Amino acid sequence: MRRRFRKVAVGGTFDRLHPGHMELLRTAAEVGERVVIGVTTDDFVEEMGKDGVEPYDVRVDRVREFMRSLGADFEIVPIEDRYGTTVDDPELEAIIVSPETEPVALEINEKRREKGLDPLTIVVVPFVLDGNGERYSSSKLRGMNG
């Protein structure tokens, strides 16, 4: 059994919700009594130069439906930058990331320290691999699905 935290954060674009996203969200629900899920806004997606991403409302609806299926206590917040609310929320205790986004969590902790906040425990969730042994990727799925 993993340690339980009162409040954890997880964030992403969550485009074409796939098993990798689901594992991140499932882990967040397992380790957090309350989960704050940051979902990138359409403007931030555009700013990042990502093409073909599903609209924000579609992505949020899929995340909400999945989290409800887990019976999790959660809230979804829009994020407009790399950090969302994680650098300012003193109640957060942990952040759930993939190996790809672990460096951002380290940046978040540095920013929290600068503001006098405790650093977050970083929980790294391994990539989920598909039948070909490759990690699930929204950009690959966008290529396959238009």
CA count, 13 A, side-chain hemisphere, 84: 21
Domain at 5-141: CATH code? 3.40.50.620
Which tens digit of pLDDT belongs to each residue from 58-106? 999 999 999 999 999 999 999 999 999 999 999 999 999 999 999 999 9
- Tell me the pTM: 0.91
Which tens digit of pLDDT belongs to each residue from 8-31? 999 999 999 999 999 999 999 999
Six-digit token pair at 30? 């397992």
Ranges of each domain in the chain: 5-141
